[in-house]
């Protein structure tokens, strides 16, 4: 059947003329079939339009969590609500560490608690244990002797001397106790003497500190320190010449008697000849 014939037949069915005669049974059966098909197509079209309208309206509605609502399609499977998936546009970066300083936060009691100390704040000083200094050892028991400044006047001469250091006080041999002669070095020496070197000794010119008789250094433990200086008694030579002056000291030390001796030259010049008138 051509399209033109179909269109004429459809127009005839929609606006059929009044029958002038009694149609046959075949004509009535054909008319019923065409009407039934049109009615079914119209109903199906209306149902499809209604479902599309409802779906469009439901698509504009959102639930509490902004998820699309669940719709039911007649005579169709029950759709399941899919969870929305969101793709982050940027990757979150880890927070940068603080450059410096300290962060103060409030404690539950309302006060500030220091979470990180500044690098500029020095750590608290730990109490240091007291240092115990060992006592310094005393200097050794020793006497130093220096001779200087020889003075010559004609045949007469004298010498400058100086003692420095420390010694132990001698003990009395008969009593076993230290002597009580004073606090100076010469008074606590074992003995001392000097010689002008001309084999001429004058008792009036000798030293005054000879203490060696009746003394011992055994058991000596009393220490005396200091210095002493002076000049010897003036000595008169019998004739000009060069002489060796010597000064000797003996004192008590930890090991017993300790002698020392120093010398110096003395030159005596001949006097000038007398002038004649």
Which residues, listed in sequence order, are joined to residue 104 by a DSSP beta bridge?
114
Place of tokens 């004509």: 27
Strands 215-216 vs 171-172: parallel, antiparallel or unpaired: antiparallel
Kindly calculate the radius of gyration of the chain based on its CA atoms and give it in whole angstroms. 70
3-state secondary structure of 3: helix
pLDDT at res. 54: 47
Q: Among candidates 177, 175, 171, which has minimal Cα distance to 218?
A: 171
Q: Say whether both 158 and 49 belong to one domain.
A: no
pLDDT in tens, 131-167: 777 777 778 999 999 999 999 999 999 999 999 999 9
Host domain of residue 37: 3-15+23-59
Judge whether 230 lies within some domain: yes
Q: Say whether both 253 and 157 belong to one domain.
A: yes
3-state secondary structure of 91: coil
Cβ atoms 152, 231 nearer than 8 A: no
Judge whether 129 lies within some domain: no
DSSP H or E run through 242:
strand 241-253
Q: Give the count of domains, the chain.
A: 2
Q: Among candidates 183, 184, 161, 180, which has minimal Cα distance to 172?
A: 180
Judge whether 168 lies within some domain: yes
Token code pair at residue 211:
């203490």
Judge whether 55 lies within some domain: yes
3-state secondary structure of 45: helix
Q: Say whether both 35 and 149 belong to one domain.
A: no
Which residues, listed in sequence order, are joined to residue 150 by a DSSP beta bridge?
none
**Which residues lie below 8 Å from residue 244, measured CB to CB, with a gap of 6+?**
197, 263, 264, 265, 266
Judge whether 148 lies within some domain: yes
Judge whether 242 lies within some domain: yes
Q: Say whether both 150 and 264 belong to one domain.
A: yes
3-state secondary structure of 30: helix
pLDDT in tens, 21-33: 555 555 456 556 6
Phi, psi of 192 (to 5 degrees): -150, 155
pTM: 0.50
253 pLDDT tier (thresholds 50, 70, 90): very high
Judge whether 123 lies within some domain: no
Q: Among candidates 118, 73, 77, which has minimal Cα distance to 100?
A: 118
Cβ atoms 248, 194 nearer than 8 A: yes
Judge whether 274 lies within some domain: no
Of 3-7, 46-50, 186-190, 239-243, the range with the lowest mean pLDDT is 46-50
Q: Say whether both 250 and 154 belong to one domain.
A: yes
268 pLDDT tier (thresholds 50, 70, 90): very high
Q: Say whether both 35 and 151 belong to one domain.
A: no
**Other CB atoms closer than 10 Å to residue 165's CB: what's the count?**
18
State CA 70 to chain mean position distance: 70
pLDDT at res. 131: 72
Q: How far apart are CA 212 and CA 194, in angstroms?
A: 15
pLDDT in tens, 212-221: 678 999 999 9
Q: How far apart are CA 80 and CA 243, in angstroms?
A: 138
pLDDT in tens, 52-70: 554 444 454 444 454 444 4
In the chain, which residue ranges form alpha helices assigned H by DSSP? 3-14, 25-59
């Amino acid at each position: 059947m051509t399209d033109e014939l179909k269109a004429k037949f459809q127009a005839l069915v929609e606006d059929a003329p009044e029958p002038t005669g009694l149609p046959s049974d075949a004509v009535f059966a054909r008319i019923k079939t065409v009407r039934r098909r049109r009615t079914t197509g119209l109903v199906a079209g209306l149902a499809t339009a209604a479902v599309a309208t409802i779906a469009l309206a439901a698509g504009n509605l959102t639930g509490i969590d902004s998820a699309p609502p669940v719709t039911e399609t007649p005579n169709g499977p029950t759709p399941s609500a899919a969870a929305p998936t969101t793709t982050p546009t940027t990757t979150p970066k880890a927070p940068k560490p603080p450059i410096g300083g300290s962060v103060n936060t409030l404690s539950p009691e309302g006060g500030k608690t220091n979470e990180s100390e500044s690098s500029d704040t020095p750590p608290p000083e730990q109490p240091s244990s007291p240092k115990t200094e060992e006592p310094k050892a005393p200097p050794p028991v020793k006497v130093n002797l220096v001779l200087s400044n020889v003075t010559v006047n004609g045949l007469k001469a004298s010498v400058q001397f100086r003692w420095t250091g420390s010694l132990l006080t001698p003990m009395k041999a008969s009593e076993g106790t230290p002597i009580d002669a004073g606090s100076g070095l010469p008074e606590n020496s074992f003995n001392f003497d000097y010689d002008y070197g001309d084999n001429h000794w004058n008792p009036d010119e000798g030293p005054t500190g000879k203490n060696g008789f009746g003394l011992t250094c055994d058991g000596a433990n009393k220490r005396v320190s200091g210095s002493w200086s002076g000049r010897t008694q003036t000595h008169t030579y019998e004739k000009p010449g060069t002489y060796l002056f010597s000064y000797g000291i003996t004192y008590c030390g930890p090991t017993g008697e300790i002698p020392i001796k120093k010398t110096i030259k003395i030159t005596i010049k001949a006097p000038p000849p007398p002038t004649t008138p």
